[in-house]
Structure 1
Amino acid sequence: MSAIKLPWKNAMRRPARFWLTALSICVAFFLYTVIFAINAALNATGSDNNQFRLMTTHKISITKSVPLNYQNKMNVIEGVDNVTYVSWFGGFFRDERNQLQAVAVDPQTYFDIYPEYVLAEGARTTWRQIKSGIIIGQALADKYQWRVGDKVPIQSTIWMSNTTSSFTWEFEVTGIYQTDAAETNQQMIFMRHDYLDENRGYGRYYVSWLVAKLSRGANADGVSHAIDKVFENSTAETRTTTEQVFVKEQAQQFVDLSWILKLVVLAVFFTLLLIASNSMSQSIRERMNELAVMKSLGFSSGKLIASVYMEALLIIFVGAASGVLIAAFGLDVVQQKLATFLPGIHIQASHYVQIVVMIFSLALICCVSPALSIYRLTISKALRT
């Protein structure tokens, strides 16, 4: 009997135990894959572009705005190549459950600093001609079936429109951006900041944060301190950090996700080891007489242990592969739930390598106790029992 067929036959002696154990492993690897994808977003260094971007917000809180004219003062600081600004709009489409990630930006500079948002030829020109125009992500366009030229009503929970005297704003889709980078949010909405300023009742000429693009070779820490020093004694003192730190801090306003993720991973795999090890130990105890017979027929302890290892490997592989596949296909749901404050959730290629290593390692650990039992097995004692 082949090295694969024998472990499969042994594993399927108790189908219920096999599938329940595989299901437990499936759940564990599903959680691990989802957690890995979230953690990758938390710790992502990002593209080559965002390594040269600094985020400047109000020193007290991001909910407090800073003056728009800070842009001009930051542009003259040594090491700063370009500066743009952003204001949070938020809002939802038709129902509050359909939350949107809408921001007001400078149409002249924003996409120069964020080249990962790729627009079709002529889209920026059209956007600059239509003040109520918006640029949306391809994923968002597919979700709501929006096309260029569509009129889209967005309800804001912050800003009232002077035009309609309500919280409902009407925009026209003037472009759809594409992106090849997995960590880039594909569900953003970009509106013109001058249109927001003209139509909101308060907060004009103030922005939520500014983004400075560093010159090549500039020191990020040095430029950050220089920016904050310029506004040190102003009415709106600032705090400048790298984009990675900025995104991570926004996510951790809710909870220290990184710590919780590590704790969950530890608990999941400790439980997994207990379940898989117990299953393998129970399976071997039931077959001690058979193993004794096989030893008497000339099978060495090494071959029997290898067969048990293949059996454990088979169970763990079935469960792990199922869990990873379900997570990979279901990750879109997680992205939609968390994209508002943590974009860029994705599975990195290195994760699959880790999964393969973990499968072989877990199978090895689960076989420690059965291997010792086989090695200590005495033929006469086992057959007599």
Structure 2
Amino acid sequence: MEVLKLIIRNVFRHRLRSILTILGVAVAMLAFAILRTLVDAWYIGVESSSPDRLITRNKISLIYALPISYKNRIAQVPGVTGVEYGSWYGGVYKEKKNFFAQFAVSGSGYFNLYPEFLLTEDEKKAFDRDRNGAIAGKTIAERFGWKIGDVIPLQGTIYPGSIELVLKGIYTGARKSVDQTAFFFRYEYLNEVLKKTNPDRADKVGWYLVKINDPQRSAEITEEIDSLFKNSLAETLTETEKAFQMGFVAMTEAIVAAVRIISMVVIAIILIVLANTMAMTTRERWAEYAVFKTLGFRPRFLFLLIAGESVAISLIGGMLGAALSFPGGRMFQKQLESFLPVFEVNYSTILIILIVSLAVGFIAALIPAIRVGRMGIAEGLRHIG
């Protein structure tokens, strides 16, 4: 108990230095939390993938389309329980800065294969009833203030011309990790426009979403689907939804690796800062530690005193940084909402921050504590610091 009192007094003995060091640790831990959450957000699509969903796309690249006639043939493969299709639209809503994911899909059946997208039956029926119907995620609807019945114009980029859509439903996520920033409309409506403006691109879709009854047979089913279109003008590549999502992550793997390295650099920097603070503190109290030795206190006690002070400063800063990570994460997501639809600091990150804070505090105190332990009494009493 006496040792704890001494540690607390020492922490705030030089208040300005301690406060600045604590703030430095807090800012570093906040940055660490944001960077770690950024990596987690990058993989959210992979983690949210369902093992009973497959994606069939053009074997050459996703940018090449597949004939719409493939749907019936895929549906006849044993083990397939549902097939829907979709295409990336990539239009502009009012201004180019208003970016959000837009998909032309086969109909409400597409949402039946995504049970994590929550829609009422009335919304699904309304979506199927009107060819220019649209469904938006709750987050994107709130962002633009959309309500059911609103007309939403989109200016085409990949596809020429413009389209006008009527919002028929707003979906929510069954869990927090579900993307609520996507926008869906009927492919049938887009296809009608293409038949008039660009017939060569009509009756072609970007991918097929395939539901299977047994995830254990996914490899067998993917091979059977691809064999149907072998040596055709549009060969297919079928893979699990997780593998499909990993393909996108792999394209930015260098960025993810750089973010991870930066997060480690942040920890290294705060370790150096805290170690410098403890070295300065130890030099100032060199004579005091010599007096402790004169009174019979063993090096173990002095090590505990120094390490306790360092760990206390680091842990207070870490706790402050952890507390700031929640509002900080929300502010960060708000700035990049279109690119990071799911960005939530989880409790495992908070736990890592606390563990890292303890480790940094202990490591920063090692060299000063070892020097004090080896210090001679006469040497310490002579010291002027």
Instruction: Note whether the superposition's TM-score is higher than 0.5.
Output: yes
- 2:108–2:127 contact (8 Å) kept in structure 1: no
Alignment partner, residue 40 of structure 2: 40
Alignment partner, residue 225 of structure 2: 227
**3-state DSSP of counterpart to 1:51:** coil
Which string of whole-angstrom CA distances, capped at 9 and with x for unpartnered residues, describes residues 45-71 of structure 1? 534x61221222212221111112222
Q: Tell me whether 104-113 or 15-24 shows the greater mean CA deviation.
A: 15-24
- 1:369: how far off? 0.9
Q: Tell me whether 235-244 or 95-104 shows the greater mean CA deviation.
A: 235-244
Alignment partner, residue 254 of structure 2: 256
Q: Does 1:245 align with 2:243?
A: yes
- 1:79–1:218 contact (8 Å) kept in structure 2: no
- 1:105–1:193 contact (8 Å) kept in structure 2: yes
- 1:194: how far off? 0.9
- 1:3: how far off? 5.3
2:343 and 2:187 map into 1 onto residues whose CA distance is 28
**3-state DSSP of counterpart to 1:55:** strand
- 1:228–1:237 contact (8 Å) kept in structure 2: yes
2:330 and 2:154 map into 1 onto residues whose CA distance is 23
Alignment partner, residue 181 of structure 1: 175
**3-state DSSP of counterpart to 1:158:** coil
Say if 1:268 and 1:128 are closer, same or farther in 2 by CA, change over 3 A. Answer: same
2:348 and 2:2 map into 1 onto residues whose CA distance is 32
Q: Does 1:303 align with 2:304?
A: no
**3-state DSSP of counterpart to 2:355:** helix
Alignment partner, residue 17 of structure 1: 17
1:322 and 1:90 map into 2 onto residues whose CA distance is 41
Say if 1:267 and 1:12 are closer, same or farther in 2 by CA, change over 3 A. Answer: same
TM-score scaled by structure 2? 0.88
Q: Does 1:159 align with 2:159?
A: yes
Say if 1:120 and 1:223 are closer, same or farther in 2 by CA, change over 3 A. Answer: same
1:336 and 1:199 map into 2 onto residues whose CA distance is 35
Alignment partner, residue 90 of structure 2: 90
TM-score scaled by structure 1? 0.88
| Amino acid corresponding to residue 278 of structure 1 in structure 2 | N
Q: Tell me whether 19-28 or 331-340 shows the greater mean CA deviation.
A: 331-340
**3-state DSSP of counterpart to 1:152:** strand
Alignment partner, residue 143 of structure 1: 143
- 1:175: how far off? 0.9
Alignment partner, residue 191 of structure 2: 197
1:233 and 1:205 map into 2 onto residues whose CA distance is 20
The answer for unaligned runs of 5 or more in structure 2 is: none
Pick the structure with more helix per residue.
2
| Amino acid corresponding to residue 95 of structure 1 in structure 2 | E
Say if 1:232 and 1:332 are closer, same or farther in 2 by CA, change over 3 A. Answer: farther
- 1:41–1:183 contact (8 Å) kept in structure 2: no
1:236 and 1:214 map into 2 onto residues whose CA distance is 23
- 1:235: how far off? 0.8
**3-state DSSP of counterpart to 1:382:** helix
Q: Tell me whether 340-349 or 305-314 shows the greater mean CA deviation.
A: 340-349
Which string of whole-angstrom CA distances, capped at 9 and with x for unpartnered residues, describes residues 334-363 of structure 1? 546666566544333322222222222222
- 1:189: how far off? 0.7
1:193 and 1:148 map into 2 onto residues whose CA distance is 20
**3-state DSSP of counterpart to 2:314:** helix
Aligned-pair Cα RMSD in Å: 2.6
Extract structure 1 runs of 4+ deviating beyond 6 A: none
**3-state DSSP of counterpart to 2:126:** helix
Alignment partner, residue 65 of structure 1: 65
Alignment partner, residue 381 of structure 1: 379
- 1:84: how far off? 1.3
Say if 1:69 and 1:340 are closer, same or farther in 2 by CA, change over 3 A. Answer: farther
| Amino acid corresponding to residue 11 of structure 1 in structure 2 | V
- 2:286–2:380 contact (8 Å) kept in structure 1: yes
- 1:246: how far off? 1.9
- 2:100–2:182 contact (8 Å) kept in structure 1: yes
Alignment partner, residue 350 of structure 1: 348
1:219 and 1:317 map into 2 onto residues whose CA distance is 50
The answer for unaligned runs of 5 or more in structure 1 is: 162-166
Say if 1:283 and 1:190 are closer, same or farther in 2 by CA, change over 3 A. Answer: same
Q: Tell me whether 97-106 or 176-185 shows the greater mean CA deviation.
A: 176-185
| Amino acid corresponding to residue 279 of structure 2 in structure 1 | S
1:155 and 1:268 map into 2 onto residues whose CA distance is 43
| Amino acid corresponding to residue 113 of structure 1 in structure 2 | L
Alignment partner, residue 164 of structure 1: none
Q: Does 1:281 align with 2:264?
A: no
